[in-house]
Amino acid sequence: MMNPALTNPCTKSDWAQLAFNSSPKKAMICTRKLSKENIGYNYYTSSNNNIQCATASPSILHFPNTTHDNNVKNPPTKPQQLKKWNIFQKAVGAAIDMVETALVSLERSQPLPKTSDPKVQIAGNFAPVPEMPVKQSLHVTGEIPGCIDGVYVRNGANPLFEPTAGHHLFDGDGMVHAVTIHDGVASYACRFTETSRLAQERDLGRAVFPKAIGELHGHSGIARLMLFYSRGLFGLIDNEHGMGVANAGLVYFNDRLLAMSEDDIPYQVRVTPAGDLKTVGRFDFKGQLTSTMIAHPKLDPESKELFALSYDVLKAPYLKYFKFSQDGEKSADVDIPLNEPTMMHDFAITKKFVVIPDQQVVFKMKEMITGGSPVVYDKNKTSRFGIMRKDAKDASDITWVTSPHTFCFHLWNAWEESETEEIVVIGSCMTPPDSIFNECDENLQSVLSEIRLNLRTGESTRRPIIDFSQHPHINLEAGMVNRNLLGRKTRFAYLAISEPWPKVSGFAKVDLITGEVKKFMYGSEKYGGEPFFLPHDNSILDESEDDGYIMGFVHDEEECKSELLIVNAQTLQLEAAVKLPSRVPYGFHGTFVRSEDLSHQA
């Protein structure tokens, strides 16, 4: 049986104060108390008790000991991979380990920036949880609407091993949380996506793959890359079949649920009839996909085609575009000409075009030589958007429209306005652009904006959609529009109210025409993540665009309880709350797969 403390670590009142917003003094007392009770967690405290992390939680990490559940694949007590090595490999491995130990010791002697300090990045409810097999017949408050029948799945970063040095929130191993609903009855499960990286590290009993954001900076980042490729050279690890964590996006396409991060190809995850999750493996579209794919591909609601990008940080071409037919047939790659590798987390589509952001956050690997981060805000670069036909065979007809000082981590939608020969792009513009990756003193602002790209003049305009005099300091980041109208003109967007950053205190329904904002707030000490809009049905409607429901996980930091909320998108009234048997950490993006689609799962 699983130790109850693993699924509800806040069974003690002191722990509720420890894990969320408690004073450092109480946190230290509770740490000692729980350590004596041996409830299955290890706790790590900062040497400076006055440090408070950016998530407004104390600087304490807790990593679950999953060995109490026989249904969970756990780190072995003795590394299994070592048994496969010959004498020479063991000697080389020991030598590399010695170098790495010295490197970690050096790193720990220096203060870490908040953007790579695990005491900041994965504290409180950003901390990992163990896997949980299916728990059936969950308690539901209210009534789940009858049209909601299927599974809500949400991805997130959930590191299996305690970080030895730097760690960014985005670096964690992928874990999918699933709530399956049928006839108003709900179940819950969460599982790691069994990436090549995760499987190898589990066999080794520790983390050996470099963390892309938390570790790969400065001279120590170069050293870690050298150690990593040395392990690969001597066959100690397999670095040829995927380094990704599959922790960001989820899309259901071609009868497959795909978990994605932009550093690898997708992984297929199957939803079992009982509501559990099982990783099928890396999915390269039957050998067609030979490069990475970003975590936000776009599914056209009419053609059912899937559009995607792939970027490379080391060699040209730095960016490629491709698409898949409804049956999963991949088009030829279209190389997009860029002078340097650009961080491109998202893009947009319209009925006819793809909209490609070439912005000011770029990769400059040489910055590591001088001790800096390879992710750089290039103030001398002018941001622009590339407009290219969806069926383009090459990039010869791409139109570039400049949009100075524009950085959108996410683009919510785009559409064509033929009367003005403009492409309208809806996105959240961030300043400072690289604040997610690099520490800075300036507070981050994420402004919901309308960007108009004139294809005839090559000029652009940008305006905030919301009136700041009525809604000051409202950061809107993570969300969506009605996916039945993706690439078409939409009136409403449903976006996370990211305050206090990076927590989410509620969501906003924004009228993109009038700027009107209607808020649904979760309540005192309750926080969530991306609001997911589920249309009432799959038809493409010109009216009743907001006919549907908002779904999302919410966590009560005082009670240490998580639930799935279902809110009527038209009235913003709570329809139902599904009480979950385990803490759900704050995560990234999700989707909903209807039961009729699951019945055709590959």
- CA 299 – CA 324 distance, rounded (Å): 9
Q: How many residues does the chain have?
A: 602
**Phi and psi for 95 in degrees, rounded to 5?**
-65, -45
pLDDT mean over 560-579: 95
Structure confidence by residue, pLDDT tens digits, 110-152: 777 777 778 888 888 988 999 999 999 999 999 999 999 999 9
Task: State which H helix or E strand residue 42 sits in.
Answer: strand 41-45
Structure confidence by residue, pLDDT tens digits, 293-315: 999 999 999 999 999 999 887 88
- b (16+ CB within 10 A) / e for 124-159: bbbbbbbbbbbbeebebeeebbeebbbbbbbbbbbb
Q: Is the pLDDT of residue 3 over 60?
A: no
Q: Which of 490, 489, 425 is nearest to 460 (CA)?
A: 425
Q: What is the pLDDT of residue 133?
A: 95
Q: How confident is the model at residue 377 (pLDDT cuts 50, 70, 90)?
A: confident
**Phi and psi for 135 in degrees, rounded to 5?**
-115, 120
In this structure, the number of other CB atoms found within 10 A of the CB of residue 170 comes to: 20
Task: State which H helix or E strand residue 201 sits in.
Answer: helix 196-204
- CA 188 – CA 133 distance, rounded (Å): 8
CA torsion sign, 134 to 135 to 140 to 143? positive
- CA 344 – CA 353 distance, rounded (Å): 17
Q: How confident is the model at residue 537 (pLDDT cuts 50, 70, 90)?
A: confident
Full-model pTM: 0.84
Q: What is the pLDDT of residue 433?
A: 61
- CA 202 – CA 190 distance, rounded (Å): 18
What does each C-alpha distance from 567 to 425, 520, 525, 534, 543 come to in angstroms? 27, 9, 19, 10, 20
Q: What is the pLDDT of residue 96?
A: 85
Annotated binding site for Fe cation: 296, 345, 410, 589
CA torsion sign, 533 to 538 to 544 to 549? negative
- CA 280 – CA 259 distance, rounded (Å): 11
Token pair recorded at residue 321: 């575009």
pLDDT mean over 313-341: 90
Please return the burial class of 24, using the count of CB atoms within 10 Å of its CB with bins 0-12, 13-18 and 19+. middle
What does each C-alpha distance from 371 to 102, 366, 433 come to in angstroms? 18, 9, 20
DSSP 441-497: SSPPEEEEEEEEEETTT--EEEEESS-TTTSTT--EEEEE--GGGTTS--SEEEEEE
Mapping DSSP to helix (H, G, I), strand (E, B) and coil, where does residue 372 land? coil
- CA 360 – CA 134 distance, rounded (Å): 44
- Torsion angle defined by CA atoms of residues 376, 382, 387 and 392, in that order, rounded to the nearest 10 degrees: -60
Annotated binding site: 296, 345, 410, 589
- CA 112 – CA 242 distance, rounded (Å): 28
pLDDT mean over 340-354: 89
DSSP 76-122: -SS-SGGGG--HHHHHHHHHHHHHHHHHHHHHHTSPPPGGG-HHHHT
In SS3 terms, 522-551 reads as CCCCEECCCCEEEECCCCCCCCCCCCEEEE
Residue reference for tokens 């070592």: 82
